[in-house]
């Protein structure tokens, strides 16, 4: 238990002036523009503690929303060490907050009390089943992406059909609409939600039921939302609804780190915060405690070229530092060799090093190069713990025990471990379900009375009866009985002789996790919210390999950012719009600001693209930065001459970006980018305009 009521001095003494001002903010809306490494978590934690200890706010009136379960747990732990009653705080992700509301009030929007949440594999399995029922030969992947996109935007999936080509995923629009409709029907029939449904149902509940909204607002009188730049339209509406007229909302974030538009995140949510809340106070955290001065000078020079941002310049607390180093490789293989040799030269511990790249495909050569030099490494973002087959088997039994309507889980465990119920029997059971209009589990009971060789079905039903009796007791006891009753460990040893020990260790880990849960339902809810693997990026003694998107929120003493080339970073898929290009620049900025002490950048002069070796050129993001902010580095080539930096392409009309100009119609603006004979300018009050230099008549401001 921490100090009951820390003094004001104790709460404020470790903060800088900007952090202190944000912590002292009491009522009304506030926007904290928190740069990378500026101590935003410390600021939020101290602000919550200040509300409780010095302003008399009850912990049960405070909601803090984070984007990962790990961040939520860390925040809870820090607050428990600071103030009494912190256990009553509501600290969670958006989805966890929404699921908590639905567990209490879900029946008001038609949810069954024991509803389950399907993960991505379950969602795919259900889509396959729907496609099979409709007699359609299509892959579920693109359809699942469409569903996710629609639900993140908060629109019915059918609304996105008009944006699609006439044929999508091999289906006409009409047939695709049939699939989407049938999928949602199947979810309802099975008492299930997919991940995207959690927030949608909670939003529907709060929008339609004033009584519930009033109760939830009492529980969330003071709201903090972290990473506000990453909120999607549904999360934005959810937040605004909870904030209500009082609007005691503190939004914390950094538009310069908005990199998730592919998940429907809308950077305008943070850019327009002061329009949504005209009385909002704005606090800027610009002191950076993470990176050296050399790294931050480079980072600031990168991001200043973006037009869609809130003014902010990171100031280094750590002065000086190693220069940012740029390596020009002859090929992608040469680049991987450089990375491995430089890491070997730096020496252990290797877990202080991260290698970041734009696409997963870039990891193969890096893995090989590191392995050939005996450097241990791991790829971050692989298969998560709760996505492993043996774990999913046991979870499926648990979900079915609580919700017999869950046909996806039923099909997974019906013959796992094998008990003599083959595909032909399953087909017959499904036929009974269709003919009689029964849920699959009820059809199973009919089949056990009518089909020849009913013993395996009866044995399974008897097992499920036992498990259903245990489903409302402790989670660990449920799983231990399940393992014993099915002899599941023996099945793993027989089915997976090569890695049975690893799988059995995963089973033990599941039991350890279940021991911490209050009930089986509580355990399954936690699993549903963490199944999208939030594995720790650090692994003892191993180099971390990861995409730039996976690196968000992390930091490492040494960072290698590879493939800084046109077509990779910025990625070729993002070059058609200014918004896409700016997001790629933000992605580069995020990668740069992960580095604490050393930053290496590299690019190849040729790379294999679609099976052919093609010449490539350095990224425009490198060319936008003054050459004095990095040094060309090549410790491995024996040469008497100093390597020259990559040539900068002269931009049309001598524009390089950042110049202030005046247009006869649009008025004053700032040059953002130039390509060919076109220039893109951000005009005040007008926005981005792409102009032909031949006709634009731009003049210096």
Task: Report the alpha-carbon distance of residue 548 to residue 132 in Å, rounded.
Answer: 37
- 154 in a labelled binding site: no
Task: Note if 227 is an active site residue.
Answer: yes
Both tokens assigned to 368: 């090989």
Cβ burial of 137 (10 Å; 0-12, 13-18, 19+) is exposed
- 371 in a labelled binding site: no
Both tokens assigned to 409: 């889980």
Number of CB atoms found within 10 A of residue 660's CB? 11
Region of 606 please: left (phi>0), alpha (psi -120 to 50) or beta: beta
Residues 352 and 537: beta-carbon distance below 8 Å: no
In the set 76, 309, 392, 594, the catalytic residue is: 594
In the set 41, 124, 153, 184, the catalytic residue is: 41
- 381 in a labelled binding site: no
Task: Note if 276 is an active site residue.
Answer: no
Q: Residue 276, SS3?
A: helix
In the set 19, 40, 412, 526, the catalytic residue is: 40
Both tokens assigned to 121: 């594999």
In the set 61, 129, 197, 226, the catalytic residue is: 226
Residues 552 and 521: beta-carbon distance below 8 Å: no
- 40 in a labelled binding site: yes
- 202 in a labelled binding site: no
Task: Report the alpha-carbon distance of residue 496 to residue 480 in Å, rounded.
Answer: 21
E runs forming strands in 303-352 = 315-318, 325-329
Task: Note if 337 is an active site residue.
Answer: no
Residues 118 and 195: beta-carbon distance below 8 Å: yes
Number of CB atoms found within 10 A of residue 512's CB? 10
Task: Note if 9 is an active site residue.
Answer: no
In the set 122, 129, 194, 227, the catalytic residue is: 227
DSSP at 108: G
Q: DSSP for 217-265?
A: HHHTSEEEESSGGG--HHHHHHHHHHHTTT--EEEEE-GGG---GGGT-
Residues 313 and 324: beta-carbon distance below 8 Å: no
Residues 117 and 198: beta-carbon distance below 8 Å: yes
Task: Report the alpha-carbon distance of residue 181 to residue 55 in Å, rounded.
Answer: 51
Task: Note if 638 is an active site residue.
Answer: no
Task: Note if 55 is an active site residue.
Answer: no
- Scan for tokens 């040494």, then name that residue: 558
- 591 in a labelled binding site: no
Task: Report the alpha-carbon distance of residue 521 to residue 513 in Å, rounded.
Answer: 13
Residues 343 and 336: beta-carbon distance below 8 Å: no
In the set 257, 362, 430, 530, the catalytic residue is: 257
- 35 in a labelled binding site: yes
Q: Partners of 377 in the beta sheet?
A: 543
- 37 in a labelled binding site: yes
Instruction: Tell me the binding residues.
Output: 34-41
Positions marked catalytic: 40-41, 226-227, 257, 594
Q: What residue numbers does the annotated binding site for ATP cover?
A: 34-41
């Amino acid at each position: 238990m921490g100090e009951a009521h820390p003094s004001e001095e104790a709460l404020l003494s470790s903060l800088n002036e900007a952090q202190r001002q944000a912590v002292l903010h009491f009522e009304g809306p506030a926007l904290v523009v928190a740069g990378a490494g500026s101590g935003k978590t410390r600021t939020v934690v101290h602000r919550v503690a200040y509300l409780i200890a010095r302003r008399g706010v009850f912990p049960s009136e405070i909601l803090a929303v984070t984007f990962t379960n790990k961040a939520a747990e860390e925040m809870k732990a820090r607050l428990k060490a600071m103030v009494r009653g912190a256990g009553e705080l509501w600290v969670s992700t958006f989805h966890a907050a929404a699921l908590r509301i639905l567990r209490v009030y879900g029946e008001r929007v038609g949810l069954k009390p024991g509803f389950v949440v399907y993960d991505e594999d379950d969602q795919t399995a259900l889509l396959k089943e729907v496609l099979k029922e409709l007699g359609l030969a299509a892959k579920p992947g693109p359809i699942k992406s469409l569903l996710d996109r629609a639900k993140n935007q908060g629109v019915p999936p059918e609304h996105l059909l008009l944006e699609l080509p006439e044929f999508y995923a091999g289906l006409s629009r009409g047939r695709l609409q049939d699939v989407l409709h049938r999928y949602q029907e199947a979810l309802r029939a099975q008492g299930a939600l997919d991940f995207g449904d959690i927030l949608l149902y909670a939003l529907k509940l709060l929008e339609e039921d004033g009584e519930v909204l009033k109760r939830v607002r009492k529980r969330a009188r003071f709201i903090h939302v972290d990473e506000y730049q990453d909120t999607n339209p549904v999360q934005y509406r959810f937040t605004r609804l909870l904030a209500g007229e009082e609007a005691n909302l503190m939004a914390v974030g950094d538009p310069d780190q908005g990199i998730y538009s592919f998940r429907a995140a809308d950077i305008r949510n943070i850019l327009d915060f002061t329009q949504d809340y005209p009385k909002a106070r704005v606090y800027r955290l610009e002191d950076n405690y993470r990176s050296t001065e050399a790294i931050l000078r480079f980072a600031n020079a990168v991001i200043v070229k973006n037009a869609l941002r809130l003014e902010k310049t990171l100031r280094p607390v750590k002065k000086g530092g190693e220069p940012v180093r740029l390596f020009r490789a002859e090929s992608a293989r040469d680049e991987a060799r450089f990375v491995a040799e430089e890491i070997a030269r730096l020496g252990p511990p290797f877990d202080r090093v991260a290698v970041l790249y734009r696409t997963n495909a870039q990891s193969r050569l890096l893995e090989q190069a590191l392995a050939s030099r005996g450097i241990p490494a791991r790829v971050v973002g692989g298969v998560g713990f709760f996505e492993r087959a043996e774990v999913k088997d046991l979870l499926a039994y648990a979900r079915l025990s609580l919700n017999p309507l869950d046909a996806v889980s039923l099909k997974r465990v019906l013959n796992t471990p094998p008990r003599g119920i083959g595909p032909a029997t399953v087909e017959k059971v499904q036929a009974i379900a269709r003919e009689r209009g029964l849920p699959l589990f009820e059809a199973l009971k009919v089949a056990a009375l009518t089909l020849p060789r009913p013993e395996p079905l009866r044995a399974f039903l008897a097992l499920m009866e036992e498990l259903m009796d245990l489903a409302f007791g402790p989670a660990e006891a449920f799983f231990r009985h399940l393992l014993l009753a099915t002899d599941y460990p023996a099945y793993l040893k027989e089915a997976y002789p090569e890695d049975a020990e690893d799988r059995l260790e995963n089973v033990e880990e599941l039991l350890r996790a279940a021991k911490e849960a209050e009930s089986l339902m509580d355990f399954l809810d936690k699993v549903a919210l963490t199944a999208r693997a939030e594995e720790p990026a650090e692994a003892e003694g191993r180099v971390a390999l990861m995409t730039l998107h996976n690196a968000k929120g992390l930091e490492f003493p040494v960072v290698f950012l590879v493939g800084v080339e046109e077509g990779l970073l910025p990625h070729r898929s993002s070059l058609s719009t200014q918004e896409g290009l700016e997001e790629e620049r933000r992605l580069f900025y995020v990668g740069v600001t992960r580095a604490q002490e050393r930053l290496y950048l590299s690019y190849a002069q040729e790379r294999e693209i679609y099976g052919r070796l093609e010449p490539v050129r350095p990224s425009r993001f490198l060319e936008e930065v003054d050459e004095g902010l990095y040094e060309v580095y090549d410790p491995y080539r024996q040469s008497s001459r100093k390597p020259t930096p990559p040539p900068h392409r002269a931009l049309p009309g001598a524009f390089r970006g950042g110049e202030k100009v005046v247009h006869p119609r649009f008025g004053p603006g700032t040059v953002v980018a130039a390509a060919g004979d076109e220039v893109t300018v951000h005009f005040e009050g007008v926005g981005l305009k792409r102009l032909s230099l031949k006709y634009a008549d731009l003049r210096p401001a």
